[in-house]
Amino acid sequence: MRKSLFTLLFLVITLLLVGCQGDPEPKDIVVVANQTLTDVSLQADVVINDATSLAELNEIAFNVASQIYEDNFLEIGSKKMTFTLRFYASEEDFQANEVTYGTLTFDINLSVSAPGLSLKTNALTFE
């Protein structure tokens, strides 16, 4: 009797857990082609078409920053530079140069003890 009850409970819990799993909705993110890398700076404009909250915007922004940094890692090497990302809600905002969601600024290779990305300013906004 106990085994039957335990097995039934196990099956119900398993079905509940399987039924609760859902894949997150993919976000429509476009890194605009005018990404610029010089000896002292890396700049990128990012269009995020369907952000729904500041928390989501922060998550997307930091992931995009990390991805762009990794894409340019070999060219950056050990040079000290500033990395600025500007975030837009639409292609139209980008074309009009209206930075809708604000900016993120990072120092790259700030010191020997702080290699890689170091957040300088987080000026992201969501209205």
| Strand-pair partners of 81 | 108
pLDDT above 70 for 41:
yes
- Encode burial over 86-121: b for 16+ CB neighbours within 10 A, e otherwise: bbbbeeebbeeeebbbbbbbbbbbbeeeeeebeeee
What lies within 8 Å, CB to CB, of 122 at 6+ separation is: 58, 104
Q: What is the reported pTM?
A: 0.76
pLDDT, one tens digit per residue, over 67-95 is 999 999 999 999 999 999 999 998 899 99
Six token digits for residue 46: 């990012």
- Greater confidence (1 vs 89) lies with 89
